[in-house]
Every structure is written in C-alpha cells, then in structure tokens.
Amino acid sequence: MSVYKHILVPLDGSPTADRGLQEAVRLARELKSKLRLLHVIDDFPMLMEMSAISSFEAGLQRMREYGESVLTGALAQATEAGVEAQTVLREITQGRVADIVIEEAGKAACDLIVMGTHGRRGLSRLALGSDADRVARSSPVPVLLVRAATAR
C-alpha cells in the first residue's frame, strides 16, 4: 500500500510547473496514487488594472479558458501514463495562491503536494518570494519541490 495515495499538483502552465507535473505523474504511476490537478486563477492583479466591468469579465473569461486548457493538457499527460487524475479550477480575488493550494490539499485529503520551483536563492528569493516557498513553509502535509530545468 502506498504512503501517498492522493497527490496535489498545482499548475500554472509554466515550464516550471510542468516539471512538477512530470515528477508527480512518475510518482503516482510507481505508487499507484491518484492525482488532483489544480489551477488557481488569481484575478486580483487583473482587478487592479481593469477599470470597466466588461473588460474585467472578458479578461476573467480568458483566464478561465487558459486554466481549463492547462488542466486538460495535464489530465491528458496523466491519463496517457495510466494515472487516475481529476482537475480542479479555483478562483481567488484576495489572498495568496499558496493559501488556496494548502486549503485544497486539506479539502481533498491529499497527503503530498508536488510542485515546480525556480530554486531561487538569496536576495532573488527574498525579493520575489514564491508560492512554492510559501506552500513548503506552511503546508501540514509533505511538499516535494521540483526544480526547473537549468540551461547548461
């Protein structure tokens, strides 16, 4: 029996997140675990930039479509590898993406979070921060951070 039965994989469509997905699919296949693929729409920054409600709604719709596209692609990857997965699209208007990731892990009884990270250090990490760093520091379940591929 697998130690990790339900693995949460936050995705944003970036190559970094895709590295996390690849590792999560590999782990899930080996451990016979299920994946929960999560895309969080963070519309707060867009809200700050949009003045007209109609342009906000149009922008939000584009973000939803993009999120669905990211999740559809990730689901196809998991399915092709023979891994059972489900997708979740969440939207926030305030707070941090990291909070939603942790909340979703608890809500779905996930026992591991796998996510990509840029692996920033020093001042770069302090200045930019990262959702991965926040999740790793605050999550009540183990977090596996997968570094982005580096150019050689």
Give the residue extent of every domain in the chain: 6-147
Q: Which residues of 87-116 are buried (b: 16+ CB within 10 A; e: fewer)?
A: bbebeeeeebbbbbbbebbeeeebbbbbbb
For position 49, what pLDDT does the model report? Answer: 56
Tell me the pLDDT tens digit for each residue of 116-130. Answer: 987 555 444 443 448
Amino acid identity of residue 60, one-letter, is L
147 sits in the region (left: phi over 0; alpha: psi -120 to 50; else beta) called: beta
For position 123, what pLDDT does the model report? Answer: 46
For position 148, what pLDDT does the model report? Answer: 78
Q: Are strands 34-42 and 6-10 parallel, antiparallel or unpaired?
A: parallel
Tell me which of 129 and 4 has the higher pLDDT: 4
Q: Which CATH architecture has domain 6-147?
A: 3-Layer(aba) Sandwich (3.40)
Tell me the pLDDT tens digit for each residue of 26-82. Answer: 999 999 999 999 999 986 555 555 555 567 778 788 889 999 999 999 999 999 999
